[in-house]
Structure 1
Amino acid sequence: MAAVRAWVAFVTEGNESVPVRPEILSSWRRSAQGSALEVVSAPLADEGDTAAFWQGSPLQAAVSAVADELRRSAADGDLVLAVTDTQARILWTYGGRVMRRKAEAVNFVAGGRWDDTSVGTNALDLAARLDAPATVFSAEHFAPIVHNWVCWAAPLHDPATGERLGVIDLSTTWDRAHPIGLATARMMARLIESALPDTRQHPRFGPPPVEHGLSLTLLGAAEARLDGRRLLLNRRQTEILALLALHPEGLSLERLHALVYGDSAVSVSTLKSEVSHLRSTLGGAISSRPYRLMLPVVVDVDEVLDRVKRGEVLAAVTAYGGDLMPGTNSPALTELAEVVAVAVREALLADPDPDAVLGYSEIAPYDVQVLEACLARLGTSGHRAIPLLRGRLAAARR
C-alpha cells in the first residue's frame, strides 16, 4: 500500500518527498516531535474536568437530543463515534460491538486526548485544526496503533455565531472504508448543530433561524424537516416525499407507483399506506387526485442544479453533499442521481475553480480527471491551492 510505503520512508529515512497530502505531511512533522510512534494508547485528561466540561457544554444537550440516531448509525455500521472539544479531547463516544472494544484498547474514550502531538496524525485533530472535514486512512495515521483504522471527522459550529465547538468523528477498520463516510460525518455534524439548545437555555446563542415549510436534503444523507423539525421517516417514505417535492404539479397514483417501484411487484395498496402515513406526518398537507404537496418545499437538488445552470460552480459544489440517496431502488431517483452527479462533474471540468475542486474532492476523492483539469488550468501560477491539489491527486492515484 502506498500509504504504508510513504510512512516507512518518512519514519525511517526522514524522507519528506513522500506522496501524501500536504495536511498529512504537516501533521506527520508535528507528530514526529512527540512520542506517537511508541504510544500504545492516547493519554487521558482528568476525568472530573472532562465530565464537568461535557455537562456544561451545549454539545451535551445536542448530542442527547439525537443520541438514538447516532447510536443506531454506529451499531448499523459497526462504527465508533466520538464528539470532541476544540482541542481534540473526546467528550462522548458510542461504538458498535467490535469497534467499541478496539476503541477502548487505545483510549478512544471520553477523556482521551487525540491531538496529533499526543497521539499522532488523525482525523479528529485535522478537522479541529483545519476547521474542515477530514479523512485519515490506514497508515496516514502516524501512530502504528491505529494503522488499521479509517476515520472521518467534521467540525461542529454554533450555527448562530459560527463559534467552533468541537468535532464529530466516525471510525472503523480500514477494510470497511466507504466512499460516503465523509459525507456521513458532515451529515451528523449538521444533525448535532441543528439540535443545539436555543437562547433561553444558553443566552450567548443568538436566536435560532425561523424555518417554515418542508425542507428536503437528498444529497449525501437523506433528511426531511418540517418547520425546522426533523421527520422520522423510513427510506421508502423519504423517496415518496422526494418525488412529490420534485413534481409540484402533482402525480397520479399510477405515475407515483411507477416512479417509486418501477417494475417491482409492489401493490398499489402498499403505496397508499405509505402516502397515508406521510399525510398524517405532514398534518394533512398531501392532496389526492393527484397526490400533491400543499405546503412550501425546498429541495437541495433544485439548488444544486440551479447553481450549475447559472455557472456558479463553487456554490453548486458547496450545496452538493454527495450522491443522491445512495442505494435507492426508485428508478426515477436513480436516474436523477446520475443527472446531478454528471452535471456537477461536468461543470467542474468546464470551470475547475480551485476551491470548488477541493470541496468536490472531499466527496469524490478518486476523481483524478477533475483534479488534473484544475491543475492544468492553474499551470505554474503559484496558486495557494496547488500543493493541496497535488497531494490529493497523488492520493487518488494510489
Structure 2
Amino acid sequence: MSQRSDLRRRRAALEDEWSRWVPRLRTATVSPCGGALRPEVTASWARSLGSVDPARDSAPACGGRTVSERWAASPLRRPVHDLAGELHSIAHDAGFVTAVTDESGTILWTCGGRTMRHRAERVNFAPGGRWDESAMGTNALSLALRTGRPSTVFSAEHLVTALHGWVCYCAPVRGPDGRVLGVLDLSTTWDRSHPLAMSTVRSLVTAIEGRLRTESPTRPGAAAPGPVRLTCLGTGRAERDGAALPLRPRQLEILTLLALEPRGYTPERLREALYGDRPVTASTFKAEISHLRRALGGGIAPRRYALTLPVSCDAADVLRALEQGDLTTALRHYRGPLLPRSEAPGLVEWRARLEVAVREAVLAGPRPEHALRYGACAPYDAEVHEHALRLLPPGDPRRPIVVGRLRTALND
C-alpha cells in the first residue's frame, strides 16, 4: 500500500509539473526546474514540441517497407525468437507489454496479455508504430535511442498526455560491432511500476546481445530468408523464396490457424481446433508443432502458440479486403474454400466464416463481375448465378456462361 501511495504522489507531482511547464515551453524558451523533473526529460520536451502535439492520441504508422519486411530483415528477429518463451512469460506474469524496435524507433514485434495488448494498441504501441522523438515525443524508447543508454519514463514525464497512464523501461540492443540495432521495451500501467523492471530489461538485452555474438555470420551477399507465403484457399501450400516448404497436411492446418489468429492459441485451444474430440496424445500434437517450427526455421512462440515471423496468407488477405470494403481485391484472392479437404474443427469454422462473408458481400453488391468471379468458385450456388443474371444486361456475351452454371446447379 505504501508503494502505491508513493507512486500516486509521484504521478500527481509530475502531472503538476507537466501542466506548469509544457504550455510555456511551446511559446517561449524557458528552463524548467523542479524536484520532480529530470533534466533529460525536460530537454526532450523542448526538442519534441516542434513536431509533436501533446494532445495526439496515438503514434503515427511507419512508411516505406511493411513491418513484416522490416522484421524479416532485422538481425534481432532470430535472437528475439529464441527468447520468445521467456519474453511471453515475463509479459504475461507481470502484466507488461514487451516490444522490440528497429534502430529508427519503429516497433517490429510485441507480446503481452490480451488486456495490456489491447490497451497498448489504442496508442499504436504495436508493430508499425513510430516511437522516435520526432514522432511521439518524450518516451523511454526515444530516450534510449537518443542517449544509447537504458531509460525509464514514468507517467507525466511522457510529453503526450495519452501516455500519462504508463511507465516504460527500455534499453538499446547493440550488435557485435557496437551499433545500436533497436530497443527492447517493457511497458505497463503507472501503478505497476517496479524497481526490478529495469534489471529485467538489462538481463534480457544481455541475453539477446549474447546470441547476436554467437550466431554464425551470414555469408557475404547472402540475403535474409524472405517471408512465408501461405496459400490455403482452394488448395494448400506454403512457399518461401519460391521454394515449397515440406509440410504435411496437419502442419499446413496448424500454419493456417496461426496465420488467421495473429494473437495465437493456448495449447489446449489449438489442440481442440485441430482434433476436436478425437483422442490424440500430447506427444503427437507437440511433434506436429515441432516439425512446423523446424520447417519455418523457428517462428512459433512456445507456451501460447503464435507466429513470430512474417507469414502472408491469402485467406487473411480476403478478410482484410472485406473489412476495408474492397470486394474486388477480396475476390482476386478468393480461389475457393479454405483447405477444402481439412476436417479440423477450427478450420471448418473458419471456412464457413469466409464463405459466408464473401458470398453475402457478392449478393449485396451491384457489380455483375463480382458475381461472375465468385460463381466460378461456387459452381453449385444457384442463388449467386441468378444474381449474376439479374445484373447482366440483355445481350451481354457473358450471360450464356452464367446460364450454363445455373443449369448445372439446378440439376445437381
Report the TM-score when normalising by structure 1: 0.49
Q: Relative contact order (C-alpha < 8 Å, sep 6+): which is higher?
A: 1
Q: Which has the larger radius of gyration?
A: 2
